[in-house]
Structure 1
């Protein structure tokens, strides 16, 4: 195939995609049938089927059992504004978003002690199997699932202290910086890495998405004097959020 020339199924998918973007096929409209695509574009059944699969994989359409394939409602992405820790502000992506009075948020959490896996141990710079407090969160914005988060804190730092459980005790829910300060651990640096990957089935189910669709992952680690004191992965559906960084120049 000459350079720049697309396979037939991608050309068909591209034309249908453009119709969806332009509103010619609005949300909840039934996608043309395989036979209709074959006739309209002069392609084989295989090409028509593959074109429909592309649109489904991109999250533009969804199958409804016994009914057909329909154009999905396209969510308006929300901004996750990241501006760091200043003047006592929170640094959690979700909690920082909640400083906007227009956004009403709640969360559920559960914590348990466990041995750190290889990847988490490397991020916390502790031996594999070292004891950590793992906390899982489901964040909701205006009642709808918004983000998932899993955090790990080394118990050699927080164990047997009032802040051992992030969401219990006198500083419950106050954020890593404030909690660590209460035990004389001064957080002075935060590193965040933003990436994307296909969503896991359980993540999609929890967030109301479709398995395999892309998710954004914000991997964040707090440091105190060069020592990691907490690391976390925040997961959200890529088509629902945009991460915006505000980095002051000093």
Structure 2
């Protein structure tokens, strides 16, 4: 999916906040100024502030404006993240070097994948493992599966997420450098087409303490979810 303007602008501001270029307590440009600086509408500028607030980076004060919080905390916000490649997501969260690797293979669907994707047992399924690190520290590993012939989530109309604290698989624990008994924050996702056909399923593991909160965000009134 193309990255929306408000996500890009918010990401640029987020990087400046996390790097200290915009220090805690600083007042951000007004709604009108932000719109003019970036050549966007007031609606887009308002979305920028809403996203930064939801990520825990900015607070708004009535009739005074928006200010950088004293101690920014990482908050995972969805589905904004679904518009981004992992490189963009983690670059918005850090000032150190971001490294992302992907391994893609075709596997035969077992019983669980058959049920999850609505395909026959033994059908070919594309399996992608994505690993991300920041400054050499592993911060995420995900595994996605989708039927052969589909690519990405552009055909998806709905996203379902389930959040849980779980003991990770051996591969996830190894990448995140955790002991077998450690718990991770796990996000299970289902991307669904307009007729509830499954486009992709994925599981993402993060260190349990990476995010201070996880929020799901949707636009009320979207005809796709009525």
Relative to the length of structure 2, the TM-score reads 0.56
> 2:167 corresponds to which residue?
198
Of 203, 206, 213, the residue aligned with 1:233 is 203
Give the distance between the partners of 1:131 and 1:99, measured in 2 at CA.
35
Query: Equivalent residue of 1:203, what SS?
Result: helix
Of 83, 97, 100, the residue aligned with 1:89 is 83
1:178-232 Cα offsets, whole Å, 9 max, x none, are xx4xxxxx32111111112223444322112222111121111111111111111
Give the conservation status (yes or no) of the 8 Å contact 1:222–1:231.
yes
Q: How many residues align?
A: 148
Give 1:120 deviation, angstroms: 2.0
Q: 2:182 matched to 1:188?
A: no
Give the distance between the partners of 2:169 and 2:157, measured in 1 at CA.
33
Deviation >4 Å, runs of 4+: 92-95
For residues 32-51 of structure 1, the aligned pairs below 5 Å read none
Structure 2 gaps, min length 5: 1-72, 221-226
> 1:122 corresponds to which residue?
115
Larger of the two Rg values belongs to structure: 1
Relative to the length of structure 1, the TM-score reads 0.51
Q: CA RMSD in A?
A: 2.8
Give the conservation status (yes or no) of the 8 Å contact 1:81–1:93.
no
Query: Equivalent residue of 1:98, what SS?
Result: helix
Structure-2 change in CA distance of 1:95 and 1:127 (3 Å):
farther
> 2:180 corresponds to which residue?
211
Structure-2 change in CA distance of 1:218 and 1:93 (3 Å):
farther
Structure 1 gaps, min length 5: 1-77, 164-175, 181-185
Give the distance between the partners of 1:93 and 1:240, measured in 2 at CA.
15
